[in-house]
A and B are shown apart, each in its own frame.
Chain A
Amino acid sequence: MSTVVLLLSAAATLLVGAVLSLAVAHRRHGAGWVAVAAMGGAAVLAWVVVLRTFSAGPDPAVTLLGVPGLGAGLTLAVDGLSAVFLAIAATIGVLTTLFAVEYLDRYPSDSVAKYYPLLLLLFVGIVGVVSTQDLFFFLVFWELMTVTSYFLVVFEGESRAAHQAGLKYFVMNQAATLGMVAAALVLWREGGSFHFETLRPALERLLVREPWLGHGVLLLFFVGFATKAGILPMGAWLPHAYPAAPTSATAAFAGAMSKLGIYGLVRVFLTLVPVSSAMTAWGWVIALAGTASLFVGTLTALKQDDAKRLMSFHVVGQVGYMFLGVGVGLVLLPSNPWLGSLAVSAGIFHLLNNALYKTALFLGAGAVHTRTGTRSLNAMGGLGPLMPWTAGAALVGSLAIAGVPPLNGFASKWLLYATGILGGRGSPLLVILVLVAMFISLVTLASFLKYYGSAFLGPPAENRASGGGADGPPGGRPAPAPSRGRPPMGDVGPLLLLPQGVLTAGCVLVGLFPWVPLGAIQEGVVGVLAQVDPYGAAGGIPPESLGSHPALGLALGEAGLALWAPLPAALALGLFALLVYFGLQRAAGAEVRQVPVWVCGEEEDPAALRYGSGSFYLPFKHAFRGVYPTVRVQPPPFPSPLRRALNPDRWLYLPLAGWVVRVSRAVARTHVGVPQVYLLWIVLGAAAVVAVVLLSFG
């Protein structure tokens, strides 16, 4: 079966699943399983496409459906770049749908008919976006994603916040898309078609002949993709919309949907922009935007006390890393194709890693939400012993996002920093950006340590809510598992744990074997470059561009300019840890005793002594308090004279009608019913006629 047939079957599976899940929507779990089955089937097909693409090379593009007169056609093809995104989306899709089956029980008053069908349609859009080679249909699928995800954001029927967030989301994204429509049209006018292959020379001509128009087109694309991906300030919708959606949908957005902003960015700026100074210039724009976003987004995330909002701001921050990677790559590509392609790969690799850990973290937050009924970190605490598996997944996810080696988040950050620093010998500003990114990586760490610490560690917070320590156990004793007014504690069910587990395992495995996905990504990037610029940029990339170290690691260049071998490092760490544990910690056979927390002998309710999430890092947060200004935009008032002028009823038609009525009244007054008067009129009239005739002919 060819790629196109597989893709179409995947889309058909999703559509059939959408219809079926709509039909059985009255059975909540039934509809969920239908959706899981459809998503699973589609994911298998998508993975077949991915594996075929990487093993046998991309199939030739096939045009299915032409729009006559516009030069647009539904051209489907999957190259290495698309395949990477297809694989990510397929995996995330299945896992988040699986999570949703039980999670949506949280919303008993909202029908799942407005969840699963839309979710499946969303993934139709995602498959379409990554596999079409035609800008027109790219935009069509792009908007399909926006529409369906909007309805997922406003899923919770009675939440006003969700509706406001949804409106903001849809309108901002719509604005961005309209900009891209304009850009697409300008290119179409130049090239006569929407096919990517014709857009490239069109843009090239435009950049030469009318540079400002060409750069305007690129600006519109940049804004469009940055909006979807969540780059500030265009991504200001994101911290509102993500927390508003059900967590299973948020995870799908974070893992799959908004990642396509990066896909679009890479697709347009890598394949449409000629490898020239224009590419470097836009590389700078993208890199700077990414750095600004990661700086502001992550520092703002640090201040959040709502678990999902915290993570949403981190989405903004993490997307900044991806933009930084892609931007650094574009800056370097014209001068150093090898490093440039690696930096682009680093951005995409970070995206993959982010899809794994960020989805896991969102799902973890959702699991906590189902158990505690709150998303406020101030109201949580001590969940670790009660929800050990969720806590474990959250810990791995937190460490991965913070870039603790040897987890996956570190691998991509390492590559990003390495390419940036090595490339920075020619352009020192890159080094500054890398340093900012390194600093923000620590802020991410701080933020997730806060999240993990205040949700899973420390004393439970529930007793405080139920009236201080009066009825609690005497001070210092760890509080018992809370029971009042809440579902019995304990970890969430296996359906909610399995997706988290798979993603967490993914974080560890990708961290230990980074060259497997990274190799595929690099192959995709180089493949795309070789297609559009076989002798220029792609010629400068050695075939084995990513040195794979004999000792199972990554090395840049023959001489090993930068090195990261996760397996030996992990092995050494594990070995040292075992040696230290058995050789030192347990060597003397010290006795172990469980004791309550010691608070200087005071008898206090542990819950009252909790260190609330708002208290973390106060001086630091204070130092960066102004980074995310809130701006309120008021529409200008409509001038009332203009309002009157626009309504001709008031100054034209009604006065005119009134005048007509008055005139006819005046005429009517002559109608008096007295024959003599009528006779007089006749005589006068006749005289007038005679007078006129005489005057005319006389």
Chain B
Amino acid sequence: MLRTLLLLVLVLPVAGAVLAGLLRPAAIRAAAVAASFLAACLAGWAVAAVHPGSYEVHLGSLPWLPGGGGQGIFGFLLDPLASVLLLVATGIGFLTVLFSTQYLTEKNRDHAVAAGSQGRYYFWLLTFLASMVGLATAPNFLQFFLFWELTTLCSWALISFYRSEESLRAGFKAMLLTHSGGVFFLLALLVLFTSTGSFGFDALARLDPGPRGWVFFFLMVAAWAKAAQVPFHTWLPDAMAAPTPVSAYLHAASMVKAGVFLMARAVAGVWDVPAPWGAVLAVMALVTMLVALSFYFVQDDLKRLLAYSTIAHLGYVLLGVALGALGSEVGFRGGVLHILCHGFGKATLFLSVGAVAYVTGTRSIRSLGGVARSMPLTAAAFFVGLLAVTGIPPFAGFWSKFMILAGALQLPAPLGPAILVLVLGESLVAFGWMLHVGQKVFFGLRTPAAQVNSDPPPAMSGALLVLMAGCLLAPLLGIPLVRLLGG
């Protein structure tokens, strides 16, 4: 029963992707929405059915792989950790598809899209959705790696979707950087397999401390590249050349989360990471947060600003995971919860920026002003997303950030208090700047660019409304899940 459910969650988007290649544009949209909607519903059902336990099934094996015969090459593992990412991937995936149905049309003043190229778009988007499902529910590192590379591929295709010079370059850059991280993942897999004969998450624990540290480090590099952490952070802002729904979904809510999810998996697999590596992860997360913050102030493109904010918030998740590696369960839970909370918050922000661009034709902070007057719903969505991302209670981000901070304080001085102070400082400055930008864009006198009539069409508005609710309710969903995490 659960196996069927999970298979359906994986297969439905694939089927949708295949159909997207075959049908007429109008039918493509319907198929894509239906496939992603069903996948999201079934995923929710599966998570609810498994809760609070976990479910693991192996479906195939590789007889030629020594030692790998017993364990599946393919299967599903639905534990609380996987549930979090599965819900984000399918839920926000559906909303993104819904949003895209009206965003990617000729009516888009920012970037009109001909009906003919939609097949390509939905094919890649749904393939990506499927690969995220596969990645989230992967029972071992091998399956994880396969879907990981698949998401990289989809990301490349989607970033380059407009086929402009800029987007082609950006796609290529993203591909190169994330894939070079993937090489380290492969390296980690090799070390792991040759030492233990297994790809399982628990195999990490069977390694000697020395190699374990190295595997952990390789995985860390892979995660940094995927999650656009310092020093690989440069691809993400350029990837904003993608259509906005793609940015919202891939580059804020899910694909980049795959990187941090990998680290969460690795830490949850061992709970005994050599402390220096844990500290490296934490320090790099802090460095990333501050570096990303330093780029806020020079951005004029709303999406680039959000991209840097995403980088910083992936840093938050990694920080939480690192706290887990250093021995704080609360911090780890907070980090994982932040995957969910930030996913909703940042998707809301991106999609509302998308709505602004759709209606006004620009994303430039300088040329926008007074948008709220004609687009109240979009403005509301932006501010809700902003408050959720920057962690203002009662919105989602607060709960996860609070747990991360609580975890930080569980560490001994000076690391714990230092993290606390830095995180609080980053929070405040980031919040202040985002609010400033929000005011500039949405309040005040209307600029010429903002002389428009109304909020975006219903599908986009609907997606925004659901996301706004998510920004408020995500902790209700997430806290029961993350409380089950722990060594």
Q: In the complex, how many angstroms separate the beta carbon of A31 from the nearest chain B beta carbon?
A: 14
Contact between A163 and B409, CB atoms less than 8 A apart: no
The stretch that binds A, out of B192-200, B265-273, B290-298, B319-327, is B290-298
Contacting residues of chain B (288-340) with chain A, CB-CB under 8 angstroms: 291, 294-295, 297-298, 329-330, 333
- Asked if A68 contacts B483 (CB within 8 A), the reply is yes
Q: Cα distance A154–B409 when bound, in Å? A: 36
Q: Within 8 Å of chain A (Cβ to Cβ): is B108?
A: no
**B176, B231, B294, B439, most chain A CB atoms within 10 A:** B439
> How does the 8 Å CB contact mask read for A156-167 relative to B, with 1 for contact and 0 for none?
011010010011
Q: Which chain A residue lies CB-closest to B402? A: A181
Contacts known (A70-B406, A143-B392, A186-B409); A181 close to B424, Cβ less than 8 A? yes
- Residue-wise, chain B 406-450 has the 8 Å CB interface mask toward A (1 for contact) of 100110000000001100100110011001100100011100000
Bound-state CA distance A158–B442 (Å) is: 10
Interface pair A646/B295, CB less than 8 Å apart: yes
- Assess the B428–A175 pair: CB atoms within 8 A: yes
User: In the complex, how many angstroms separate the beta carbon of A652 from the nearest chain B beta carbon?
Assistant: 7
B428 close to A643 (CB less than 8 A): no
Interface assignment of B252: CB less than 8 Å from any CB of chain A: no
Structural contact, B409 and A648, CB atoms closer than 8 A:
no
Q: A69: which of B295, B333, B370 is its contact (CB, 8 Å)? A: B333
B376 contact set on A, CB distance < 8 A: 111, 113-114
- In the bound complex, do residue A638 and residue B294 qualify as a contact, i.e. CB atoms below 8 Å apart? yes
Known A-B contacts A70-B330, A111-B376, A653-B177; the reply to A163 vs B444 at CB < 8 A is yes
Q: Which residue of A lies closest to B233 (CB)?
A: A648
In contact, B234 and A648 (Cβ under 8 angstroms): yes
The answer to whether B420 touches A182, judged by C-beta atoms less than 8 angstroms apart, is yes
The answer to whether B432 and A167 have CB atoms under 8 Å apart is: yes
A259, B21: Cα distance in complex, Å: 63
A185 at the interface (CB under 8 A from B): yes
Question: B439 is contacted by which of A114, A139, A167, A647 (Cβ under 8 Å)?
Answer: A167
> Is A69 a contact partner of B330 (Cβ separation < 8 A)?
yes
Q: Which residues of A contact B298 (CB under 8 A)?
A: 643
Is A268 an interface residue when CB atoms closer than 8 A count as contact? no
Count residues of chain A with CB under 8 A from any CB of chain B: 45
Chain B residues with CB under 8 A of A646: 291, 294-295
Question: How far apart are the CA atoms of A175 and B435 in the complex, in Å?
Answer: 14
- The answer, yes or no, to whether A174 is at the interface (CB within 8 Å) is yes
Q: Given contacts A140-B394, A181-B402, A181-B405, is CB(A643)–CB(B231) below 8 Å?
A: no
CB neighbors of B among A637-682 (8 A):
638, 642-643, 646-649, 652-653, 657
Known: A144-B393, A174-B431. A158 touches B445 (CB 8 A): yes
Nearest-Cβ distance from residue A121 to partner chain B, whole angstroms: 10
Q: How far is the CA of A157 from the CA of B372 in the complex (A)?
A: 8
Residue A171 at the chain B interface, CB threshold 8 Å: yes
Check: A625 CB closer than 8 A to any chain B CB: no
Residues 476-487 of B, flagged 1 when their CB comes within 8 A of A and 0 if not, give 000100110000
CB-nearest residue of chain A relative to B329? A69
B428: chain A residues at CB < 8 Å are 171, 174-175, 178
Give min CB distance, A146 to chain B, whole Å: 8
Q: How far is the CB of A148 from the nearest CB of chain B, in Å?
A: 11
- Tell me, yes or no, whether A282 is within 8 Å of chain B by CB: no
The reply on B387 being an interface residue by CB < 8 A is: yes
A69 to B479, CA, bound (A): 9
Contact pick for B297, options A111, A163, A189, A638, CB 8 Å: A638
Identity of the chain A residue whose Cβ is nearest the Cβ of B372 in the assembled complex: A157
Q: Would B431 and A171 count as touching, CB distance under 8 A?
A: yes
Instruction: Report if A590 contacts B (CB, 8 A).
Output: no
Query: Is residue B398 contacting chain A, with contact meaning CB distance below 8 A?
Result: yes
Asked if B375 CB lies within 8 Å of chain A CBs, one says: no
User: Does chain B have a CB within 8 A of A170?
Assistant: yes
The reply to whether the CB of B212 lies closer than 8 angstroms to some CB of chain A is no
Write out the residue numbers on chain B whose beta carbons fall within 8 Å of the beta carbon of A295. Answer: none
Binary A-proximity of B217-247 (CB < 8 A = 1, otherwise 0): 0000000000000010010000000000000
Pairs A–B under 8 Å by Cβ, sample size 25: A69-B329, A109-B373, A111-B376, A136-B402, A151-B383, A157-B372, A157-B373, A158-B445, A167-B435, A170-B435, A171-B431, A174-B428, A179-B424, A181-B402, A182-B421, A185-B405, A185-B409, A188-B409, A189-B406, A189-B409, A646-B291, A649-B234, A652-B231, A653-B173, A653-B177
Q: A69-B330, A140-B393, A182-B421 are in contact. List 6 more A-B contacts (CB 8 A).
A: A69-B329, A157-B444, A163-B443, A179-B424, A189-B410, A649-B234
Rank and list the top 5 A-B pairs by shortest CB-CB distance, nearest first: A140-B393, A143-B393, A171-B432, A649-B234, A68-B483
Chain B residues in the interface with A (C-beta under 8 A): 173, 176-177, 231, 234, 291, 294-295, 297-298, 329-330, 333, 370, 372-373, 376, 383, 387, 392-394, 398-399, 402-403, 405-406, 409-410, 420-421, 424, 427-428, 431-432, 435-436, 439, 443-445, 479, 482-483
